[in-house]
Chains A and B, each alone.
Chain A
Amino acid sequence: MYRRALSWLLRQTLKLDVTINRVYPTDWNPLYYTGGLTNFFLLVLVVSGILLFFYYVASLDGAYASVAYLTDAVPYGGLLRGIHRYAADAFIIAALLHLFRNWFTDRYLFSRDGPWISGMFLLILGGFIGVNGYQLVWDTRAQAITQIFVQMLRAIPLAGPPLAHLFLGGPGISDALLPRILFLHIGTASFLYLLLWWHYVRLRHPKIWPPATWVLTTLGLITLLAALPGTAPVAGVPAQPGVGVTSYPLDVFFLLPFWLTNWLPAGVVMGGLILLFLAGYVIPYLDRETEPAMGVRHAGVAQVIDGNCTGCELCYYDCPYDAIVMVPSPHPGVTKAAANRKLLAVVMDSRCVECGICVGACPFEALELPKFLEADLTRRIAQAVAAPASQTVTA
């Protein structure tokens, strides 16, 4: 059931690609750059966030006034705020597209699970940073979501109340709150880059930057949304302690859980979120024992044929997963070409995805996929060339 749904989703994803590729050249297909776009939006967020930081005052009395001053009195301050807000939305959209695309196209299985797990951390922390950003403004919406978030925290058994105490910096909302949130906002955002290192660590050429046309178009759309009267951020109502908030504008990309608390107890929403993310961590391991869809072979981790390796580093440069390391050769190779080698290629099993790109890179026949040998292929070539096609004469 799960696998059939996934293969249906795979088919739809790739059909969508075919459609997009009619309009855009294939290497400009935005869906091939969801990760790069996410990274680009993160950079936009960092740059605009640093500029916003210069104006922000992290106190219950000063926060709203500082944001209002920035929005109304500083030239292009409102635009800057809007860019920060819509870049955050774009970040989450791109990250979710990235997640679903890689899920549906089977790019998370087997030795590709590292990026998936780090990606789940990135997604959770990204969402958390977004919520913090809405709290920093300290208008009525910030007040409401802070209350709901504290309720959600308290609903966690055992660890909940101390966590809520830690988050608030005391038993209730006090001046200790906003500096904490500011640190959580900026500190966690910096931590994202550490996680990104984990996300990229075994990719030889991570696609961290989208094509120019998409940089310009998305940045333009973000700026446009930030400037247009209907969508530009407006100053809300300043928070008033002790007054219950009944309604506030909703950002569906970050505040959806808070919206759900209209109908569900905060504890249930928190439990649902935790379950959702736990399920996210389990996804790569659900299908482990079965053949992935599309009847894909398991060719086996590439093996270096020691005697043939000349230490030329061609496979090392071509491996897209940095799975091949060159080590000082412990002994000379067997063949003439390998007799004077200085280096020897070694495959790191945990990084190998069994694609065989190194086999194609090696002119010395020093690499093999154990379950799809050169002999298998040459036999098939010989068959294909020798057998007469039904309607043709043999050459």
Chain B
Amino acid sequence: MAEPKVVGFVCDWAVATEGLTDGDGRLSAHPSVRIVRVPCSGFMRPDWLEETLRAGADGAFVTGCPYGDCLNREGNYLMRDRVEQLARRLSRRRVEAGRLAMLAHGLHDRPAFLEDVATFLQRLAALPPAAPSRPARPAAPAGGPAPAASTRPAAPTGSVTPSEESP
């Protein structure tokens, strides 16, 4: 079967992906994984991860520097907490928590990085396929946390909790 489609957000200072990717940011080892470089893992707003899933990706991961060695001191710890919070929030909406991952690899830790990505892909492959047609996010009202219940077709029944903590 097809490999799950994944978007990976990699910190500029974490694992170097030059040579691992083609021009479009596809990992050559796993062509279904696309890498997007960001200034720091802590730059990722959880909304964007949610949006990535909603736009049709099967999974998303963020890669920061090893814990304790963030160039910006705390970006990777903060992001780990945010990913955990987002996973909890999503699982309340029947989106599997396993679709999100936080990895931490230094600039020269490529083998371990690829290993972790492969593990993540296996985990995704074991999950039931994502809901086939998730509509794209409607134009977000300016302000306010993640858009509300109308964009949750993945939840089969109405047992969604609209109250959610801000990330």
Contact = CB atoms under 8 A, between A and B. Distances in A.
Q: Note whether A and B contact each other (Cβ less than 8 A).
A: yes
Interface of A: 10-11, 14-15, 17-18, 21, 26-29, 32-33, 105-107, 203-205, 294-297, 299, 308, 310, 312, 314, 318, 320-321, 334-338, 353-357, 359-365, 369, 372, 374, 377-378, 380-387, 389-393, 395
Contacts of B66: 17, 21, 26, 29, 32
Contact of B57 (A205, A357, A365, A385): A385
A299 B142 contact: no
A205 B51 contact: no
Given A15-B108, A29-B68, A363-B47, A385 B42 contact: no
Contact of A360 (B34, B71, B79, B142): B79
B56 A355 contact: no
A389 B45 contact: no
Contacts of B48: 374, 377-378, 381
A319 to B, nearest CB: 9
22 contacts: A10-B107, A18-B112, A26-B104, A107-B71, A294-B12, A296-B12, A310-B143, A320-B70, A320-B75, A334-B142, A336-B143, A356-B40, A357-B42, A357-B43, A360-B45, A363-B167, A364-B144, A369-B43, A381-B51, A381-B55, A384-B25, A391-B3
B56 A395 contact: yes
Contact of B32 (A15, A337, A380, A391): A391
Chain B interface mostly: loop
* CB-CB nearest 10 A-B residue pairs: A356-B43, A335-B143, A357-B42, A384-B34, A320-B73, A355-B72, A337-B143, A27-B68, A32-B68, A355-B40
A314 B82 contact: no
Given A29-B66, A385-B52, 9 more contacts: A296-B13, A318-B42, A334-B142, A363-B45, A374-B48, A381-B55, A384-B7, A384-B57, A385-B57
A357 B79 CA distance: 9
Given A357-B43, A377-B38, A385 B55 contact: yes
B69 A17 contact: yes
B67 A27 contact: yes
A32 B74 CA distance: 12
Contact of B42 (A308, A360, A383, A384): A360
B93 interface: no
Contacts of B32: 389, 391-392
Contacts of A296: 12-13, 39
B148 interface: no
